[in-house]
Chain A
């Protein structure tokens, strides 16, 4: 297993902390004028999502985590698992609900997702930042109302519900920012 010295710690580096894979967010150099230098590191635990701080004596090293991001194509869900394929090797990988988390609600098939594998098993799945999805259920549109800023709930073809402006009609395709779940725009067919 690769180990990394504190001066190699960069945002995005994956380290093993207390047996869990963690993502380095920030590495700050701290040193008393006449004393030992340390690196205060902020990390995100990739299993729990929690943020933690850990301080290393400068020059010490830490075991890297075998965590890799892969761009995989989403194929289908079988009711229990979500199936992905590596578009180059055609290798298929199966993700459980913990790894899917919020990503599942934005996927209908064919999307390219970032699947973070830890020891070959999906740890997290990130849906594309923007997705285009059709509305399957919403109140009738209020014609011309583009200024009041009011919103109404709309159910999408994937089952997710988002807030959309009042002028949007049932059956329209809209663009969603999956980081916030916010409506971005209509998509002209």
Chain B
């Protein structure tokens, strides 16, 4: 029986150092560490994320209650922000059903943080400062989503016809099966054609995602075709995702509804929106920006590892 860890002990020591370094970064900037539940009553509506769930017997309930292992601590942390926490961060486990592979493990460590009052540039610079602090790099690059799609895929991701996206995708190795949605073609092209060019010289922020992929981000005031959302890439590997947060409860409710409509169309179960998050937004969440960073991926990038199981003590196949 292979009982040994997948990561070397040297790598685990490096992991511990990097964790300490991240904590020191936030301590230095007076960002408070918080812990929010992994088990919660509501899951995520995003059609591309799948909650693991379990049941829990609670003394006051007749039947066991279904609880969802969180895919990120976003909803709970926003409730803390609405309660007036000020800047907060969390280093915790996130869980995503179905995600396992060279760069994925169903449970992984996420660094997530929120900065009240930060705008788009502020939050990108905050991530850049963290990378400088942790990796000792001089600075990062910034590129716009539409620009790198034009450069590497030869398409305008915001304006071109879906047939053009499909042609380019099929020519780039997508199986020509049933038609996909516009966003699915963009996701394919980002992963297979564009991302390999990102972050090879230095960590690179991919900025201004299309509005259709805004998730919980605000749209850009100057160009509503785009969202105030960015991702960080190092050597083609997606490391972090951040945005200026949506704080409007009406718009949030609408996006939850859209998510569930897309879930239904894809034959996925609908997810009950997190009413506590919506109540917190109703109460009022002041302008803020936030980031979710995959800690295992950051360590992979820092150590030059190609596989996530090289940086985790026991990935799912060994757990």
- Taken together as a complex, chains A and B put the C-alpha atoms of A28 and B173 apart, in Å, by 14
List residues of chain A with CB within 8 A of the CB of B48.
31, 34-37
A33 → B minimal CB distance (Å)? 5
Q: How far is the CB of A188 from chain B (nearest CB, A)?
A: 40
Flag whether B191 is at the interface (Cβ < 8 A).
yes
| B33 lies within 8 A of chain A by Cβ | no
In the complex the two chains form, is B184's CB within 8 Å of A36's CB?
yes
Question: Does residue B180 face the partner (Cβ distance < 8 Å to A)?
Answer: yes
B241 contacts chain A at the CB level, 8 A cutoff: yes
Check: B138 CB closer than 8 A to any chain A CB: no
Interface residues of B in 178-220 (CB under 8 A from A): 178, 180, 183-184, 186-188, 190-192, 213, 215
Per-position binary interface string of chain A over residues 57-89, scored 1 when its CB falls under 8 Å from any chain B CB and 0 otherwise: 110101000000000000000000000000000
Q: How far is the CB of B105 from chain A (nearest CB, A)?
A: 11
Q: Is B254 engaged at the interface, CB distance under 8 Å to the other chain?
A: no
SS of A interface (majority): strand
A-B contact count (CB 8 A): 79
**Which partner residue on chain B sits nearest A41 by CB separation?**
B175
A62 to B177 alpha-carbon distance, docked (Å): 9
Cβ B46 vs Cβ A34 within 8 A: yes
Give the one of B104, B173, B192 with max A CB within 10 A.
Answer: B173
When distances are taken between beta carbons in the complex, the residues of chain B under 8 Å from A62 are: 175, 177
Contacts known (A28-B101, A34-B48, A35-B213); A57 close to B241, Cβ less than 8 A = no
Question: Is B174 positioned at the interface, with any CB of A under 8 Å from its CB?
Answer: yes
Q: B57 an interface residue at 8 Å Cβ cutoff? A: no
Given contacts A30-B191, A33-B294, A60-B177, 5 further A-B contacts (CB under 8 A): A28-B101, A31-B104, A34-B241, A36-B48, A54-B173
